[in-house]
A and B are shown apart, each in its own frame.
Chain A
């Protein structure tokens, strides 16, 4: 049956999923049984007899059981357009991430050109760029939202900007490396043509940097997603995966929190796969 799957890449991925599932169940029991035992000892009215049985049905499990996760998904996936369901919120977070990444690409690209074209630029600005990345996003997000709010920028846009804030760095560094990647002979070749600096960028450096750009995009995409979610959690949000996580963790709904976490991981996989697909379209010369 597995051989019928269209993409052979899915098989190893599913194999890992099976291993995780097999390991998860005993681990879940190990974590939950003591809690269930304590609940039984305290004489709570539970719809189950033994600690082993109760371990899969706790209201606030240490680790949710597969059955609980399944029900959780069923509850949180539908209705598709509901403001309290995952699909709509995931779409908002994905939008913030993608807009953030696009913004990061533009900014990162200019920084990369600056780094490659001018030593002075690299020496004077790079340390500050590095410093900007060490500031915890969770601290800077609320302040950025306040700042942007002053100018009437609200809703999902500040989250996209925060996503861009942490995504532009890997893009800038990756593209700078890509722009420097042509070998000396290729640069000599352009010189023998008396090519202008602009022509050398256009015909040699930009195309040569594309593989590096996509590698950077994959790193930046996950960074942007985390940025968007953290921004949603740490500011006032009405939509998004981060808002769902914050709500459910405040309500101590362990199962829902796990479900949303898994959903955001799936979203991350899909977004990175999107970059991979784009790479195949844009660089068809690759083997």
Chain B
């Protein structure tokens, strides 16, 4: 009994930007990190992968990014294999930690991908400055990372991921280490960025409210073995704001996610 038979979540069919078909990932230790996962993502979506530790959400993201390779199944990113997509620099990746280079100023950090990718030198500075303005950090261009708070550092890393204008943004619990207040602010900012830039975002999180607030669809994942439990569409109207969190519909969807997690014994998620 495979996952794809019991729960055929794939919805957007014709023009999927990301297509995951029956993908499994077994680590050399024997851990089944992901079992028969299938998922279709259309351009312009904001997808959250939610679930407790060990449910394979980070694994799935790393598979899409070609940072690891699946044991079986097939993945397409923008019609290409993950490796081709990575080599054609099709996506930006934001990690759990800001991973800024301490020897570079904020501006130089945002310029890093442009330097690596051979963008004409004259464009580096103006583009990096534009990205910093997008995340509201233009005043901190000359600071070193250690002079910034954790939330600001993570914003720099988002600006860096956007600097080379990829269609796709992979975000692996980017706000996981931040306090609730900073996190809610950054959620709002991220939604604004998503609307303004029209990117497709795949976002890994531990937090139900964060997933409901941000997503167009929520992929609920459960552990041991890691698998996709269900996919829940989020029909909250755009643009969303602080009041969105107070609506009945918000709580209904949050409850739906919580129940799906409980069904898959995945209930050690942070509220």
**Do the two chains bind?**
yes
Find out whether the CB atom of A192 lies under 8 angstroms from the CB atom of B65. Answer: yes
Closest A residue to B89 by CB, please name it.
A194
5 tightest Cβ-Cβ pairs between the two chains A and B: A192-B93, A193-B116, A207-B103, A195-B116, A185-B99
A138 within 8 A of B: no
Q: Name the distance in Å between A215's Cβ and chain B's nearest Cβ.
A: 16
**Which residues from chain A contact B104 at a C-beta distance below 8 Å?**
285
User: What count of chain B residues pass the 8 Å CB interface test?
Assistant: 24
**Which residues from chain A contact B103 at a C-beta distance below 8 Å?**
207-208, 210, 283, 285
From A185, A186, A283, A285, contact of B96 by CB (8 A): A185
**Cα separation A287 to B143 with both chains bound (whole Å):** 12
Find out whether the CB atom of B86 lies under 8 angstroms from the CB atom of A203. Answer: no
**Cα separation A6 to B259 with both chains bound (whole Å):** 67
**Which residues from chain B contact A207 at a C-beta distance below 8 Å?**
101, 103
List residues 177-205 of chain A with CB under 8 A from any CB of chain B. 183, 185-186, 188-195, 199, 203-204
What does the 1/0 interface line of B66-82 toward A look like (CB < 8 Å)? 01000000000000000
Find out whether the CB atom of A199 lies under 8 angstroms from the CB atom of B99. Answer: no
**Which residues from chain B contact A189 at a C-beta distance below 8 Å?**
93, 95, 99
**Cα separation A283 to B92 with both chains bound (whole Å):** 29
**Which residues from chain B contact A194 at a C-beta distance below 8 Å?**
86-87, 89, 116-117
**Which residues from chain B contact A208 at a C-beta distance below 8 Å?**
101, 103
**Which residues from chain B contact A188 at a C-beta distance below 8 Å?**
67, 93, 95
Find out whether the CB atom of B146 lies under 8 angstroms from the CB atom of A185. Answer: no
**Cα separation A7 to B66 with both chains bound (whole Å):** 52
What does the 1/0 interface line of B145-159 toward A look like (CB < 8 Å)? 010000000000000
What does the 1/0 interface line of B170-184 toward A look like (CB < 8 Å)? 000000000000000
Closest B residue to A195 by CB, please name it.
B116
Interface size bracket, A side:
20 to 34
From B67, B97, B112, B117, contact of A191 by CB (8 A): B67
**Cα separation A188 to B92 with both chains bound (whole Å):** 12
**23 A–B contacts, CB within 8 A, in A order:** A183-B99, A185-B95, A185-B99, A188-B95, A190-B116, A191-B67, A191-B86, A192-B67, A193-B89, A193-B116, A194-B87, A194-B89, A194-B117, A199-B116, A203-B115, A204-B101, A207-B103, A208-B101, A208-B103, A283-B103, A285-B105, A285-B144, A287-B146
Question: Given A189-B99, A193-B116, A210-B103, 18 other A-B contacts at CB below 8 A?
Answer: A183-B99, A185-B99, A186-B101, A188-B95, A189-B93, A190-B116, A191-B86, A192-B86, A192-B91, A192-B93, A193-B113, A193-B117, A194-B86, A203-B112, A208-B103, A285-B103, A285-B104, A285-B146
Most chain A beta-carbon contacts within 10 A, residue among B96, B105, B115 = B115
**Which residues from chain A contact B112 at a C-beta distance below 8 Å?**
193, 203
What does the 1/0 interface line of B111-124 toward A look like (CB < 8 Å)? 01101110000000
Closest B residue to A204 by CB, please name it.
B101
**Which residues from chain B contact A186 at a C-beta distance below 8 Å?**
99, 101
**Which residues from chain B contact A283 at a C-beta distance below 8 Å?**
103
B271 within 8 A of A: no
**Which residues from chain A contact B243 at a C-beta distance below 8 Å?**
none
**Which residues from chain B contact A183 at a C-beta distance below 8 Å?**
97, 99
**Which residues from chain A contact B246 at a C-beta distance below 8 Å?**
none
B196 within 8 A of A: no
**Which residues from chain A contact B93 at a C-beta distance below 8 Å?**
188-189, 192
